[in-house]
Copies of this chain bind each other. A is one copy, B any other.
Amino acid sequence: MEQKNSVYIATSLDGYIADSQGKIDFLNTFTFPEGEDMGYSAFMNGIDALVMGRVTFETVCGFDVPWPYEKPVYVLSNSLNEIPKGYEGKVFLVKGTLNEVLSEIHSNDHHRLYIDGGSTIQGFLKEDLIDEMIITTIPVLVGGGHPLFGELDKSLKFECVSSARYADKVVQNRFLRLR
């Protein structure tokens, strides 16, 4: 079974996933035709499970919407000891090094993973564990905030395998790791 760790995320043109107040309003700068999901459903259909950090999990819980994921969500946390009420069967806590976490997830027959959340993505990249990144660039310079990418000890080479524009304004590029 193919194992793949994928990122699907939107950033500002200057590479931020949230502005300096932690807000993501810039994501709504442009409107899209009804039903245009920029490949999100197709992407979600191709994954087995999500992996995110506790902060991202709690952020999603705080959104005033029903739980948005049909696939299992693994939450990386060394501080949570139990799944919050109402999320049993949907959310699974995982602990340890990323390689230990991945072994556990793979043993559940979940191989194609959506890696989400700023610090989780940076952690996976630090250990060269990301295979694919689909990055939607919202062409706004927000001028500061929380960057998608962090410091790395060694450079990582990717290739841009496709590029698409949406609403004539926004661009989405797909990158694959070149090893």
In this assembly, does A131 line the interface, its C-beta being within 8 Å of a C-beta of chain B?
A: no
In this assembly, does A13 line the interface, its C-beta being within 8 Å of a C-beta of chain B?
A: yes
Whether A160 pairs with B152 at a CB distance below 8 angstroms is: no
Nearest-neighbour CB distance to chain B for A145, whole angstroms, equals 10
Which B residues lie within 8 Å of A92 (CB)? none
CB closest residue in chain B, given A11: B15
In this assembly, does A165 line the interface, its C-beta being within 8 Å of a C-beta of chain B?
A: yes
Whether B137 pairs with A144 at a CB distance below 8 angstroms is: no
Which B residues lie within 8 Å of A144 (CB)? 151-152
Nearest-neighbour CB distance to chain B for A64, whole angstroms, equals 25
- State which residues 76-134 of A face B: CB under 8 Å: 125
Nearest-neighbour CB distance to chain B for A22, whole angstroms, equals 15
Whether A143 pairs with B155 at a CB distance below 8 angstroms is: yes
Which B residues lie within 8 Å of A159 (CB)? 139, 168-169
Contact of A160 among B15, B142, B143, B170 (CB under 8 A): B170
In this assembly, does A45 line the interface, its C-beta being within 8 Å of a C-beta of chain B?
A: no
Whether A141 pairs with B158 at a CB distance below 8 angstroms is: yes
Nearest-neighbour CB distance to chain B for A153, whole angstroms, equals 7
Residues in chain A within 8 A of chain B (CB atoms): 13-15, 19, 26, 29, 125, 137, 139-144, 148-149, 151-165, 168-171, 173, 175
